[in-house]
A and B are shown apart, each in its own frame.
Chain A
Amino acid sequence: MSEYWPLAGILIVVLGFALRFNPLLVVVVAAIATGLLGGLDFVAVIEALGKAFNDNRYISVTWIILPVIGLLERYGLQQRARALIESMHGATMGKLLVVYLGFRQITAAIGMKDIGGHPQAVRPLVAPMAEAAAEKSHGELPENERQKVLAMSAATDNVGLFFGEDIFFAIASILLIQGVFESAGYPLTPLQLSVWAIPTAICAFFIHGGRILAFDRRLGQLPASEKAEASQ
């Protein structure tokens, strides 16, 4: 059994997150425990952690874009992005969220992943618009269905981001894949990797887009009695 001891680090991560400790603290405690249980002495564990952190600095380099985005926000970038989406007429919830899914995928794919996001875009913009569009087509919604519309808006932002961002090759996850394969003796360029994010992105668009439209149709088929309850 003793050969399985290093897996205790995984347990620490699970428990630490579940108990809501600071994730950085959880990660470092897990790293130290794993190293010690894996047979390294304390100094060697700190050295391993320091070397690994140092070798992975390229992942955090991407924050240098913050002054550009912050400066443009100061001059109304988000307001402009909103105006662009709001200018679309005749929107249903289905159409609105499918368009947002595509918009989020495409902008993330060209490296503008900070244009959406939950605090900046979903809460103030996407979710209220989706709710309004759903109520325009289907009348007032029962509370549980209304909550699902809001949740679907957040889900759409996530799916669009996750399955768009890897098409942009200066993204941390692509650089991580490159680093892992390079240290194993397989030098790859970010571009070679990022083109292979395209098939999954297309699947994601059709699967999630199809589910959004099916959800919109299902809202239209709710029994009239449920809607009457909602309006009371």
Chain B
Amino acid sequence: MITYEWLYIMAGLFFLAWSLLSIVDRSNTKRWGNATFWGLLAASFLFGSHLTDFCNGLLVLAMVGIAGIGGLGRSNPGTTSLEERFNFSQLLGNKLFIPALIVPITAVAGTLLYNYTPFGETGLFEERRETLILFGVGVLFALAAAMIWLKPPPLAAAEEGRRLLDSIGWAAILPQMLAALGAVFALAGVGDIIGGIAGSVIPEGSVLLTVIIFALGMALFTMIMGNAFAAFPVMAAAIGIPLLVEGYGGNPAVIGAVGMLAGFCGTLMTPMAANFNIVPAALLELKDQNGVIRQQIGTAIPLWVCNVAIIYVAGFLLWN
């Protein structure tokens, strides 16, 4: 049976390759920082399941230490020039989209086949893990197709991947780190405290008001954290699961999915989501650092109201 562990080993090998290529990249003055950072992430993927929690914790501290002292540099692996790319795009045409489409198609079609045909009875994949595993399979298919069709130099795929990874830098593990922060918050009882505060504002027995407070908590907490990832585990543990799902018998899929989207409305309104709101203001040379947020508030607020309505109607009225 194929499990997440296989995927972790595959990802670990990718990160290991990027770490090794970083070592020999003399164009990057901080190459040892990059090599160590991606090497530690590779170690986490390859061996994390066999290390003690404490060792994994030290791995995290080491990675954060490197990022915290600005130890990561921007690499610049050799690639094609803009002119060459333009010529290739004319030569290759819309077929260029095909390898990019192989990944989502493998994941989507594979998941549908696995769940609705006898293919699923083979028990090939770990239960409910098939989508991400098929995503990994799709990546391998797409890489193979692109290499056979385009015949790039042998290391080109790894180097192009490293170019993109280094442009993302330490932010590549920020979502995973925020999820870990959410778990520590939960362990320290932050969810219970916020749930207690929220619970004390929620009048007993009102489903609609509970939905509103859940969605408001998602949006506000997301604005504080800059990312719905950190808000979601807390609000789900405080209100979503104990009150909406268990207390009032709501549809867990709707409450989970649309609750997250209520958080995304908060992302549109906060400078903490710097990648989306502050960086583009700088890129576009706007005079007002919050100019992008100002254009988003008028969409975020009515859309948040829609999310409340969707949770209430689809999660409760139509579900029960």
Report if B119 contacts A (CB, 8 A). no
Question: B88 contacts A75, CB within 8 Å?
Answer: yes
From the candidates B61, B139, B288, name the one contacting A65 in the complex (CB within 8 A). B139
Provide the bound-state CA to CA distance between A193 and B99, in Å: 27
> Which residues of B sit under 8 angstroms from A75, Cβ to Cβ?
80, 85, 88-89, 92, 96, 150, 152
> Which residues of B sit under 8 angstroms from A76, Cβ to Cβ?
80, 84-90, 92, 96
Question: A34 contacts B172, CB within 8 Å?
Answer: no
Closest residue of chain A to B188, judged by CB? A38
| CB-CB under 8 A for A71 and B232, given A177-B257, A200-B261 | no
Interface string of A153-172 (1 = CB under 8 A from B): 11101110011001011101
Report if B248 contacts A (CB, 8 A). no
Q: Name A91-123 residues within 8 Å CB distance of B.
A: 110-112, 115, 118-119, 122-123
Chain A facing B: main interface SS: helix
Provide the bound-state CA to CA distance between A55 and B209, in Å: 34
Provide the bound-state CA to CA distance between A118 and B277, in Å: 10
From the candidates B189, B280, B298, name the one contacting A122 in the complex (CB within 8 A). B280
Question: B253 contacts A196, CB within 8 Å?
Answer: yes
B207 to chain A, nearest CB (A): 18
Question: A57 contacts B48, CB within 8 Å?
Answer: yes
Interface string of A45-61 (1 = CB under 8 A from B): 11111111111111111
Question: B296 contacts A155, CB within 8 Å?
Answer: yes
Report if A64 contacts B (CB, 8 A). yes
B256 to chain A, nearest CB (A): 4
A214 to chain B, nearest CB (A): 9
> Which residues of A sit under 8 angstroms from B228, Cβ to Cβ?
173
Interface string of B51-65 (1 = CB under 8 A from A): 111111111110110
Question: B160 contacts A70, CB within 8 Å?
Answer: yes
Question: B256 contacts A181, CB within 8 Å?
Answer: yes
Closest residue of chain A to B128, judged by CB? A189
> Which residues of A sit under 8 angstroms from B99, Cβ to Cβ?
68, 71-72
Provide the bound-state CA to CA distance between A23 and B172, in Å: 12
Question: A191 contacts B111, CB within 8 Å?
Answer: yes
Report if B254 contacts A (CB, 8 A). yes
Q: How large is the interface on A (under 10, 10 to 19, 20 to 34, 35 or more residues)?
A: 35 or more
From the candidates B8, B108, B288, name the one contacting A147 in the complex (CB within 8 A). B288
From the candidates A3, A24, A162, A177, name the one contacting B174 in the complex (CB within 8 A). A24
> Which residues of B sit under 8 angstroms from A197, Cβ to Cβ?
257-258, 261
B138 to chain A, nearest CB (A): 9
Report if A27 contacts B (CB, 8 A). yes
Question: A180 contacts B232, CB within 8 Å?
Answer: yes
Report if B306 contacts A (CB, 8 A). yes
Closest residue of chain A to B300, judged by CB? A159
> Which residues of B sit under 8 angstroms from A170, Cβ to Cβ?
104, 107, 131-132, 134-135
Question: A61 contacts B241, CB within 8 Å?
Answer: no
Provide the bound-state CA to CA distance between A194 and B230, in Å: 19
> Which residues of A sit under 8 angstroms from B202, Cβ to Cβ?
none
Interface string of A173-188 (1 = CB under 8 A from B): 1111111111010111
> Which residues of B sit under 8 angstroms from A73, Cβ to Cβ?
79, 85, 160, 164
Report if A89 contacts B (CB, 8 A). no
Residues of B within 8 A of A (CB): 4, 7-8, 10-11, 14, 41, 44-45, 48-49, 51-61, 63-64, 67-68, 70, 79-80, 84-90, 92-94, 96-97, 99-101, 103-104, 107-108, 111-112, 115, 128, 131-132, 134-136, 139, 142-143, 146-147, 150, 152, 156-165, 168, 170-185, 187-190, 193-194, 224-226, 228-230, 232-233, 236-237, 241, 245, 252-254, 256-258, 260-261, 264, 267-268, 272, 274, 276-277, 279-281, 283-284, 286-288, 291-292, 294-296, 298-299, 302-303, 306-307, 310, 314
For the complex of A and B, the 6 pairs showing the least CB-CB separation, nearest first, are: A38-B188, A70-B160, A76-B89, A50-B57, A50-B56, A52-B183
Of the A-B pairs whose beta carbons lie under 8 Å apart in the complex, a sample of 23, sorted by A's number, is A17-B274, A23-B226, A24-B174, A28-B60, A28-B177, A39-B188, A49-B61, A57-B48, A58-B4, A66-B165, A67-B157, A70-B159, A70-B163, A71-B150, A71-B152, A76-B88, A122-B280, A148-B291, A154-B281, A170-B132, A184-B241, A191-B111, A196-B310
Q: A68-B142, A84-B94 are in contact. List 16 more A-B contacts (CB 8 A).
A: A9-B184, A13-B225, A24-B173, A38-B187, A53-B180, A58-B4, A61-B136, A70-B159, A70-B162, A71-B157, A72-B146, A119-B283, A155-B299, A177-B256, A182-B128, A208-B299
